[in-house]
Structure 1
Amino acid sequence: MEEKIFIVEDDAAIFSSLKEHLEQWSFQVAGPENFQDIMTPFTQFNPQLVIMDIQLPAYDGFHWCREIRAVSNVPIIFLSSRDHPMDIVMAMNMGGDDYIQKPFHTDVLLAKIQATLRRAYSYAEPEEPMDELKWNGTTIDLKRCVIQGGTQEIELTKNEFFILSILVEANDEIVSRDDLIRKLWDDERFVNDNTLTVNVTRLRQKLSELGLGEAIVTKKGMGYMAVTLQENT
């Protein structure tokens, strides 16, 4: 089945160029005609990945990312002609999975798309099939990308879920930042190190809702470790 990519880009020349290039790689590509309404065509197309420009008519890409995140965990790659570090931080905090600055080479974007699709849809196929992990009195559902504690259920993004799974499966051992980056993004050349920090911060914020905000520990100069809290032993 062809994977579907939804491109939110108001520059017709850039949209047409991307559409033509991606269709050569057997992707189905669509985009909105009316930038006042992104959600209707997004929902109808039901894509596996979104490419989102930041500077758009009416509402910016951050707004539409929030709208999409309210209903979907589909991977989102941001595009922007701006190079301020805070744009990258905002993109990741809003739920973006990657960020690429204009002008860009289409082969670089393609590599990011392929890596994002692999980590979003392929990693949850372990060699020995498992449905869940038990950790600190919670259940990590490997099929639905959620963590449950009692009657409360927290939904995680693909990146947050993957990071948590790696750390928990390490059994109280430190996982280096480099190892996490390699496992998340496959090729370090296409990764901004800040992306990992932002994803871990978001993960901790969500875990705090279950009283586990301190269960992901930073080991300075080494990496991260998922620990067993005393109250849950």
Structure 2
Amino acid sequence: MNYTIYIVEDDISISRLMKEHIEKYGLAATVVTNFESIIEEFQLLTPHLVLLDVNLPKFDGFYWCRRIREISKVPILFISARESGLDQVRALENGADDYITKPFSYEVVMAKINSHIRRVFGDYAPSLNERVIELEGLRLYPERLELECQGKTAILTKKEAILLESLIQTYPKVVNRNYLLEQMWDHSDFVEENTLNVNITRVRKKLQDLNIENGIETIRGLGYKLNKSW
């Protein structure tokens, strides 16, 4: 498969050299042509990975990273002369997968590009048969024990994943407490009520980590329901 890399860099010499190195390693590379239409170019190109600078004309790389994350999960690697830890944190919080500071070794950049491509599309990519349970942008991967929303990911325990799967699949209906106990434990008669409460609290915290406040609503006397607040 011929993978395509989209280079969003306003330094012509760097983008040209980067394109040459990428193509030398057997990948396709396209350099941005219009810094005001990056999303439109991205959608036409449908690249497998994006190399993104921070300092760009009109809008910075953080802005474009967020925009790309709204429509795609392709790997995004920042390449920037800005070395501060705050910039690196901002890049990751806006959905980036990696951050490389200038000056850099082209060999290191290529190694990172190939590593991310293998992870997403190659030998290390998730199985095509992997289950994905989704509700309007909220994605649960039960086998991976991961929850994703708006470019952020939370790691779950097995019990938390079972609980969330029940809530998502039942939405917008209320899930009975006894049903949740039966799904999460084989013998619900021997499980303390507080054990379920603890797991509900933990899942609420995981949802908050994804900027989903009040994600689970308690329906007194019945059970719980997912509150779609994202």
For normalisation by structure 1, the TM-score amounts to 0.61
The structure-2 alpha-carbon separation of the partners of 1:5 and 1:139, relative to structure 1 and needing over 3 Å to count, comes to closer
CA spacing shift, 1:25–1:211, aligned 2, 3 Å: same
Match of 2:64 in 1: 64
Residue in structure 2 matched with residue 125 of structure 1 by the alignment: 127
Matches within 5 A, 1:121-200: 121=121, 122-125=124-127, 130-131=130-131, 140-141=140-141, 147=147, 155=149, 157=151, 160=153, 164=155, 168=157
Deviation at 1:203, TM superposition (A): 7.4
Contact 1:146–1:155, Cα closer than 8 Å, also in 2: no
Task: Give the superposition deviation at 1:73.
Answer: 1.4
Match of 1:92 in 2: 92
Percent identity reads 35
Counterpart CA distance in 2 for 1:203 and 1:3 is: 34
Counterpart in the other structure of 2:221: none
| Alignment RMSD (CA, Å) | 3.5
Q: Relative contact order (C-alpha < 8 Å, sep 6+): which is higher?
A: 1
Structure 1 residue ranges, 4+ long, deviating more than 4 angstroms after superposition? 169-172, 201-204, 207-212
Distance 1:66 1:140, change over 3 A: closer
* Equivalent pair of 2:207/2:215 in contact (CA under 8 Å): no
1:116 is matched with: 116
- What CA distance in whole angstroms lies between the structure 1 residues aligned with 2:110 and 2:77? 11
Unaligned runs of 5+ in 1: 148-153, 173-200, 213-230
SS in structure 2 at match of 1:107: helix
Deviation at 1:171, TM superposition (A): 9.9
**Secondary structure in 2 matching 1:50:** strand
| 1:66 and 1:94 in contact (8 A); partners too | yes
Q: Deviations along 1:5-36, whole A, 9 cap, x unmatched? A: 00001111111101010001111111221212
Whole-Å Cα distance in 2 between the matches of residues 63 and 207 of structure 1?
A: 18
TM-score normalised to structure 2 length: 0.62
Aligned residue pairs total 169
Residues of 2 paired with 1:205 and 1:86: CA distance?
19
